[in-house]
Structure 1
Amino acid sequence: MHFTTPLLGLAALIPLASAVGNAVVTNKCDAPVYLWSVGGSVGPKQTIQPGKSYSEALHHDPASGGIALKITRTDNGLYDGSPQLNYAYTLDGQTVWYDLSDVFGDPFSGSALVVKPATGTCPSICWPNGVSPGV
């Protein structure tokens, strides 16, 4: 998916990005979630408490080209095979390409996940039950 305008929204987690701005994940779950920013290397684990957010400046990774914000419900989830939600983006000049995917299961099954652009010019991503609709 492709967008050049800011994103809003989400029920369980809120990914947010704006062209040459920030990627933000807000935890609206009842328990902490754990996030790693992964490109050519793995960033440190970030614990996001309920109601809190993680933010990073959108950037291009010279080794991989893109970044995946890997989110799990378990403390060491990136390394123990736990289900992951991957909010991935690639910064290409002033344009950001983005998507959601699950790996090793569906960690947010039962919770709506929505990435919604601030304007109607870019497509949103909606997983009403926390599972990819498999378009």
Structure 2
Amino acid sequence: MGNAVFANRCERDIWIWSVDETTGSSAPIKVAGRSRYTEPFRVPGAGGVVFKVSNSDQIVGGAHTQFEYAISNDQLYYDLSFVDCAKGESASDCPGHAKGLAMYSPNDACGKLDCAPGTYCPKQAYYVDTPLSKLGIEEPVFGCGSAGTGMDLYMVICSENPQVLKRSIAGRLAVEF
């Protein structure tokens, strides 16, 4: 199986919590500005995995963004949620929204989620818990079809910033996110 890769392209530090119904929540994980955090995919007994994102080492009600993924029948599904921080069509209280958020895999079979900086993007992210009944649009869930789970999934905060490039000692490109 692949990995969940949380890429912080922001200049400032952020904190994430990796949460699922089986193991509960991790302690806060500091992801320094212009760095990333990686963990292997996991398949909890029920539901999926949520990365709660905060601008501080506390989860403050109404001020966190959620990157979510689930694996079912060897298929990867993922989404972005502003349900806990959006107010109507505004996600300005959601960490990362002002600088853009994205989720994607290098595998071409996967869809790409891209919520442009400061925009209302209900087809890219959840603003309400049931968009079909409340907004009249399909749920913004992306996936990789039958491509399996052998690829990495990138969750990017401050996606408008350029990719972070790190070079190996020999000068070859080693990491991009």
Task: Report the TM-score when normalising by structure 2.
Answer: 0.58
Could you say what secondary structure the match of 1:110 adopts? helix
Determine the C-alpha separation between the residues in 1 that align with 2:31 and 2:37.
7
| Residue deviations 1:28-56 (CA, integer Å, cap 9, x gap) | 11111000001011111100001221111
Runs of 5+ unmatched residues, structure 2: 86-92, 124-177
* Percentage of matched positions with identical amino acids: 22
Say if 1:74 and 1:82, in contact at 8 Å, map to a contact too: no
Which residue, out of 39, 42, 47, partners 1:59?
Answer: 42
Which residue, out of 38, 46, 65, partners 2:29?
Answer: 46
TM-fit CA distance, 1:120: 3.5
Q: Cα RMSD over matched residues?
A: 1.7
User: 1:55/1:119 Cα in 2 relative to 1: closer, same or farther (>3 Å)?
Assistant: closer
Higher radius of gyration, 1 or 2: 2
Which residue, out of 52, 70, 83, partners 1:70?
Answer: 52
Q: How many residues align?
A: 113
Runs of 5+ unmatched residues, structure 1: 1-19
User: 1:120/1:67 Cα in 2 relative to 1: closer, same or farther (>3 Å)?
Assistant: same
Judging by fraction of residues, say which structure has more strand.
1
Determine the C-alpha separation between the residues in 2 that align with 1:130 and 1:101.
15
| Residue deviations 1:57-83 (CA, integer Å, cap 9, x gap) | 101111x3210011111221x2x3251
Determine the C-alpha separation between the residues in 2 that align with 1:93 and 1:131.
34
Q: Greater RCO between the two (CA within 8 Å, min separation 6)?
A: 1
Amino acid at match of 2:104: K
Query: Does 1:133 pair with 2:135?
Result: no
Could you say what secondary structure the match of 2:98 adopts? coil
TM-fit CA distance, 1:93: 4.1
Amino acid at match of 2:72: D
Question: Which 4+ stretches in 1 moved above 4 angstroms?
Answer: none
Determine the C-alpha separation between the residues in 2 that align with 1:24 and 1:33.
14
Residue 109 of structure 1 aligns with which residue? 97
Residue 22 of structure 1 aligns with which residue? 3
Say if 1:113 and 1:130, in contact at 8 Å, map to a contact too: no
Amino acid at match of 2:97: S
Task: Report the TM-score when normalising by structure 1.
Answer: 0.74
